[in-house]
Amino acid sequence: MLVMARPPVPIDLSPEQEVDLRTLLRARTTPQQLALRARIVLQAAEGVSNKDIAAALGTTPQTVGLWRGKFAREGMAGLQDAPGPGRPRAIDDDVVQRVLAKTLEPPPAGETRWSVRAMARATGLPPATVQRIWAERRVKPHQTRPFKYSRDPELVPKVIDVVGLYLHPPDGALVRCVDEKTQIQALDRTQPILPLKPGQAERRTHDYKRNGTTSLYAALEIATGQVLGECYPRHRHEEFLAFMRRRRQGLPPTATCTSCSTTPPHTSETEH
């Protein structure tokens, strides 16, 4: 039986972490084991596989995977050797609360976000302690994610309706969540894909030909988890209605509840 290898843990280095790792490599007093771990993390952050890192550094893929995983979970503190037998030294709850509360405050002047060293200076704690507190509570000040705030004055009633529909659907009702992905590039490889073989990965040509764009419509049935999807060449309310009608074919005449966004193809008068 062919067993697929587990994908390596991705490493996302902050600018400060990269500086700290390279500082370790330049320092003459850095132990060789710690320097090896720093090199592993730096190469992993560049997307190099465990096997290639092991070959380049003269170690084993298992060792690379070990320190790659520890760094992903614990940051810089994960590269240090674990303490001897016994319970690890606990961090006082007041210290933890102080660090977490400070993390929610604006960063120092000239900084865009809190770093381990900046927090250590602000709280008077060792950088390793700050890193450990953040790692144990999965706090990542160096990462940001965008979001969109709705200006719809009816947002709260709509949210209540949708959540209530999922939690307490009407008896005998078919509940579906519908959405679409537009402007999908329809691409084909210029040559057939060569299949996966033992000891050989699937192979495909690097070049491709364009076949325009398509729109994928999908409906998630809440009760079963089944996803039903179809592709259409255009993105209008006509295609949306055609998709919904096809989804009703063969179903008993029960009530249908559909949850979807308020984009124009979903809200035309023809559709209602």
Write down the domain spans for the chain: 15-79, 93-136, 155-266
Can you give the C-alpha Rg of the chain in angstroms? 27
pLDDT of residue 3: 46
CB 47 within 8 A of CB 146: no
Nearest to 175 by CA among 233, 99, 254: 254
pLDDT of residue 255: 62
pLDDT of residue 254: 65
Q: Looking at the domain 15-79, which fold is it?
A: Arc Repressor Mutant, subunit A (1.10.10)
Which tokens sit at 160?
């209540």
**Beta-ladder partners of 226:** none
What values do phi and psi take at 244, rounded to 5?
A: -65, -40
Q: What does each of the 272 residues of the chain score in pLDDT, given as a tens digit?
A: 444 556 788 888 888 899 889 988 888 888 888 999 999 999 999 989 999 999 999 999 999 999 999 999 888 888 887 665 655 567 888 899 999 999 999 999 988 999 999 999 999 998 989 999 999 999 999 888 888 888 889 889 988 988 888 888 777 777 888 888 988 988 888 888 888 888 888 988 888 888 889 999 998 887 788 898 999 988 888 888 888 888 887 777 666 667 676 666 666 554 44
CB 262 within 8 A of CB 155: no
pLDDT of residue 236: 87
Which tokens sit at 145?
């994610």
Q: CA 128 to CA 80: how far, in whole Å? A: 10
DSSP states of 217-255: EEEEETTT--EEEEEESS-SHHHHHHHHHHHHTT--S--
**Which pTM does this prediction carry?**
0.43
